């Protein structure tokens, strides 16, 4: 528990200290924001700051900081280190700067920002890449809540139909009609769940592996025949939303179009990411008890579990909430777990609609034009979902591709932010280091992953290092050219 407490304190201090430093680097001012200058009553409109925070938090959360943290906890307490350092120095910085840069560019979507700072070719590639990622988000965030709801009542097919029907309505309506009204309630449910579990952790005070005594891959020790993933790069892909996630940069422009003042940016963008990091930290700790707790792992203390270390993330959520929080608490907690992915799914489709509309210069105030953009998105998602259901390991395959695509998107976002900071003559090091790290993570994972090239690890790691060197040399060459232009 000591590692958990220190990590929790570090996240809070990260928001108070480093978050303020990042805010100072960007330099918010009193200029008119897009919510005021481009108000259209659909996507551009002023919302209260507390409501924007709750919506932003729910948009970026999904099941990522829960399922990702549960899977990441199988590596052992080293997951704490990635959650804390990744969240403070990479994820929250990434979210804040991408949200503020969108605000400075009239609420521009991520592909537009990438095109402005990395060039037209990068924009076109990332346009297709981003829309595909958003469709994948909407798809994977249908299946997991449907399975959880199925465990309570009804069939999975029934809940899939209900969730898709909700997606259609929420994606089409103005942002204040559904999202602005019910998202704060769902966000409260998710925060209640995390808070209740944290209280129970302090009540139970389980003996857990500490970072300084178990700084190695505990999963490989617990189940060596099945658990073959390495800490690097797999942990950095597994825990995304609790540390850094490119998906967040597609969501921040939604709220950048609703903020009345730039000075509200740090609590909304940086603060929401730190809050998500806290949620991931809590679930990583709960899962650490479930898989490694002393004197006996949690699954040995719960009669309903017979899968041990191999217990799925969704099963861990249901089992722990029922065992720790009772019937009433479990219902409210599960509401948060179910609502989070559904709401992230519908805002993913909403982001895709806005990105396509912005690219094609389509006025989206008429509902018929919104529908024309949305129909192909929903049809593509349904086709992907059918394939996922028909294939035994379909969900895991899509989730792994989603995880890699998600982190790859963060790479492009971080390089975009680095170019912006260089051109503004600001301390670009705050995004350059995370950009180099995530470039290495994503390329290495591509080389060693079973779903990609699946090269021998020594060759895959060597190629990953080579990509790091190439990226660094490319930046140095570009920086010198850019510096000569700025003189």
| pLDDT tens profile 316-331 | 887 888 888 887 766 7
pLDDT at 339 over 80: no
pLDDT at 36 over 80: yes
Does the pTM surpass 0.95? The reply is no
* CA dist., res. 246 & res. 348, Å (int): 12
Q: Are 472 and 436 in contact (CB under 8 A)?
A: yes
Q: Provide the strand spans (E) within 310-356.
A: none
pLDDT at 62 over 80: no
Confidence at 42, pLDDT banded by 50, 70, 90: confident
What the block records as the tokens of 315 is 């099963």
What the block records as the tokens of 364 is 């989206």
Q: What is the mean pLDDT of residues 30-43?
A: 91
Q: How many residues does the chain have?
A: 487
Question: Which burial class, exposed, middle or buried, applies to 390 when counting CB atoms under 10 A from its CB (0-12, 13-18, 19+)?
Answer: exposed
Confidence at 137, pLDDT banded by 50, 70, 90: confident
- Mean pLDDT is highest, among 10-19, 107-116, 119-128, 375-384, for 10-19
Q: What is the mean pLDDT of residues 399-423?
A: 89
More confident call, 343 vs 116: 116
More confident call, 212 vs 184: 212
The pLDDT, as a whole number, for residue 72 is: 92
Which of 177-186, 218-227, 327-336, 408-417 has the lowest average pLDDT?
327-336
pLDDT at 257 over 90: yes
Q: Are 78 and 231 in contact (CB under 8 A)?
A: yes
* CA dist., res. 455 & res. 453, Å (int): 6
Mean pLDDT across the chain: 88
Give the N- to C-terminal CA distance of the chain in Å, as an integer: 53
More confident call, 177 vs 289: 289
Among the listed residues 345, 5, 51, the one whose alpha carbon sits nearest the alpha carbon of residue 208: 5
Confidence at 281, pLDDT banded by 50, 70, 90: very high
Confidence at 393, pLDDT banded by 50, 70, 90: low
Confidence at 252, pLDDT banded by 50, 70, 90: very high
DSSP designation for 162: H
List, in order, residues 6 or more apart from 21 with CB less than 8 Å away.
none
Helices (H), 27-108: 34-37, 49-61, 69-73, 78-86, 92-104
Fold classified for 2-486: Amino acid/polyamine transporter I (1.20.1740)
Q: Are 51 and 180 in contact (CB under 8 A)?
A: yes
* CA dist., res. 430 & res. 421, Å (int): 9
Greatest CA separation for the chain: 70
Express each pLDDT in 118-134 by its tens digit: 998 888 888 888 888 88
The pLDDT, as a whole number, for residue 116 is: 93
Q: Are 347 and 59 in contact (CB under 8 A)?
A: yes
Confidence at 383, pLDDT banded by 50, 70, 90: confident
Domain ranges of the chain: 2-486
Which of 5-19, 163-177, 321-335 has the lowest average pLDDT?
321-335
Q: Helix/strand/coil (H, E, C) string of 411-443? A: HHHHHHHHHHHHHCCCCCHHHHHHHHHHHHHHH
């Amino acid at each position: 528990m000591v590692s958990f407490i220190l990590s929790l304190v570090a996240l809070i201090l990260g928001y108070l200290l480093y978050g303020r430093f990042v805010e100072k680097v960007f330099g918010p001012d009193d200029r008119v924001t897009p919510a005021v200058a481009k108000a259209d009553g659909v996507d551009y409109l002023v919302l209260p700051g507390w409501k924007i925070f709750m919506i932003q938090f729910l948009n970026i959360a999904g099941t990522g900081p829960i399922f990702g943290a549960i899977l990441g906890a199988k590596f052992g307490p080293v997951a704490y280190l990635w959650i804390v350092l990744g969240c403070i120095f990479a994820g929250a910085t990434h979210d804040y700067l991408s949200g503020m840069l969108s605000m400075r560019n009239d609420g521009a979507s991520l592909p537009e920002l990438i095109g402005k700072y990395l060039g037209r070719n990068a924009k076109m590639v990332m346009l297709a890449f981003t829309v595909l990622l958003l469709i994948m988000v909407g798809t994977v965030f249908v299946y997991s809540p449907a399975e959880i709801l199925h465990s309570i009542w009804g069939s999975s097919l029934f809940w899939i139909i209900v969730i898709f029907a909700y997606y259609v309505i929420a994606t089409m309506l103005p942002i204040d009609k559904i999202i602005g009204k019910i998202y704060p309630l769902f966000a409260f449910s998710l925060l209640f769940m995390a808070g209740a579990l944290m209280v129970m952790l302090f009540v139970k005070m389980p003996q857990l592996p500490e970072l300084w005594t178990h700084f190695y891959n505990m999963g490989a020790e617990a189940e060596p025949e099945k658990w073959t993933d390495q800490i690097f790069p797999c942990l950095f892909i597994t825990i995304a939303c609790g540390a850094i996630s490119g998906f967040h940069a597609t969501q921040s422009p939604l709220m950048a179009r609703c903020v009345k003042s730039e000075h509200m940016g740090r609590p909304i963008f940086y603060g929401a990411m730190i809050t998500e990091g806290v949620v991931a930290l809590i679930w990583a700790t709960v899962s650490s008890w479930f898989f490694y707790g002393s004197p006996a792992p949690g699954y040995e203390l719960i009669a309903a579990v017979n899968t041990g270390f191999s217990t799925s993330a969704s099963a861990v959520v249901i089992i722990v909430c029922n065992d720790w929080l009772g019937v009433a608490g479990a219902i409210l907690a599960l509401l948060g777990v179910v609502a989070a992915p559904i709401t992230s799914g519908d805002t993913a489709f909403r982001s895709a609609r806005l990105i396509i509309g912005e690219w094609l210069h389509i006025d989206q105030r008429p509902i018929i034009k919104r529908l024309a953009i949305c129909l192909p998105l929903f049809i593509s998602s349904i086709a992907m979902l059918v394939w996922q259901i028909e294939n035994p390991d379909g969900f895991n395959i899509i989730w792994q591709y989603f995880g890699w695509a998600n982190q790859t998107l963060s790479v492009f976002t971080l390089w975009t932010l680095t170019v912006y900071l260089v051109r503004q003559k600001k301390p670009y090091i705050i995004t350059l280091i995370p950009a180099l790290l995530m470039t290495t993570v994503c390329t290495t994972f591509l080389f060693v992953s079973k779903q990609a090239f699946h090269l021998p690890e020594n060759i895959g790691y060597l190629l990953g290092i080579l990509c790091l060197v190439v990226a660094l040399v490319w930046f140095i060459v570009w920086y010198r050219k850019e510096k000569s232009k700025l003189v």
